[in-house]
Amino acid sequence: MKTRIVKRPQLSVGERIYFATVVKGLLLTIKHFFGVCRDLFDWKNKKTAITMQYPEERWDFKDNFRGAPALVMDQFGREKCVACQMCEFVCPPKAITIWPAEFATKDNNVEKFPDRFEIDMLRCIYCGFCEEACPEEAIFLVKEAELVHTDKKDFIHDKGKLYEMGGIREDRILKWQHK
Ligand code: SF4
Ligand code: SF4
């Protein structure tokens, strides 16, 4: 096989003394310096913005913030989860455990409900897969992100805690509503 010789590009005089490159680098450093100065001061409230006085001051999370997963009810206070276990199946660290139960009466449009529903927050990685997989829009990642407990057992969020965190979300479809 014939050897192919690649010619090195010839540098101009300016490129060889690196002057332009050094100036470019310095300008970039100056730009970042003023950027940091601007960010260190809260111009709106006229005070330094270096340290947040937590817990008196807290972050204002956006609505799409991925905090802890929680269960929600519809506007009629009805539990939306139908215990299909999709979220349990899809959860990468296996943080969700569901104990499904069947409704005794058949006049209900829903067959099952979660008798127990637990999420181990020491396993949860806040990935949001459960929210994406849920066919009933029953589980959401809420803004709650400060989970502090002194007992490991408290990190297991049971159904009561999950509904307390999730609250009510308006359901526009009302799939299981009697027509
Ligand atoms: S957010 Fe991710 S890790 Fe946490 S319970 Fe949902 S699927 Fe599991
Ligand atoms: S939260 Fe959603 S995905 Fe999980 S069991 Fe209930 S209905 Fe199924």
The closest-lying atom of ligand 2 relative to the alpha carbon of residue 83 is 5
Whether residue 32 contacts residue 107, with contact meaning beta carbons closer than 8 Å, is answered with: no
Examine the domain organization and report whether 44 and 81 are in the same domain: no
More confident residue, 98 or 40: 98
Residues 16, 86 share a domain: no
Nearest ligand, measured from the Cα of 96: 1
pLDDT digits 0-9 by tens, 28-37: 999 999 888 7
Expressed as residue numbers, the domain containing 19 is 12-55
Residue 142: pLDDT band (50, 70, 90) is very high
Which residues make Cβ contacts (< 8 Å) with residue 179, sequence separation at least 6?
none
pLDDT at 17: 85
Whether ligand 1 lies within 6 angstroms of the CB of 139 is answered as no
- The pLDDT of residue 86: 97
Name residue 169's amino acid.
R
Q: Are residues 137 and 115 in the same domain?
A: yes
Spell out the residues 6+ positions from residue 135 whose beta carbon is closer than 8 angstroms to its own. Answer: 84, 86
Please report, rounded to a whole number, the percentage of residues in the chain having pLDDT higher than 90. Answer: 56
Ligand 1 touching residue 126 (CB < 6 A): yes
Whose C-alpha lies nearest to ligand 1, atom 6? Answer: 130
Q: Is the dihedral of CA 143, 149, 154, 160 positive or negative?
A: negative
Same domain, 83 and 132: yes
Q: Is the pLDDT confidence value at 88 over 70?
A: yes
Task: Tell me: do 93 and 28 sit in the same domain.
Answer: no
**Confidence at residue 49, expressed as pLDDT on a 0 to 100 scale:** 66
Does 39 score more than 70 pLDDT? yes
Q: Is the residue at 6 inside a domain?
A: no
- The answer as to whether 143 is a domain residue is yes
pLDDT for residue 27: 96
pLDDT confidence band for 107 (50 / 70 / 90): low
Q: Whose CA is nearest to atom 7 of ligand 2?
A: 81
Residues 80 and 138 in one domain: yes
| Amino acid in the structure at residue 56 | E
Alpha-carbon span 94 to 117, nearest angstrom: 13
The residue ranges of DSSP E strands in the chain, in sequence order, are: 41-42, 47-48, 69-71, 96-102, 112-120, 139-141, 156-157
Residue 38 has pLDDT above 80, yes or no: no
Give the number of the ligand closest to the Cα of residue 123: 1
Is the model more confident about 50 or about 35?
35
Q: Please indicate, yes or no, whether residues 28 and 81 belong to a single structural domain of this protein.
A: no
Residue 131 Cα: closest atom of ligand 1: 6
Segment 81-105 mean pLDDT: 95
Asked if 82 and 150 sit in the same domain, the reply is yes
Residue 19 has pLDDT above 80, yes or no: yes
Q: Are residues 33 and 77 in the same domain?
A: no
- Our count of domains for the chain comes to 2
Task: Tell me what the pLDDT averaged over the chain comes to.
Answer: 89
C-alpha of residue 122 to centroid of ligand 2, in Å = 20
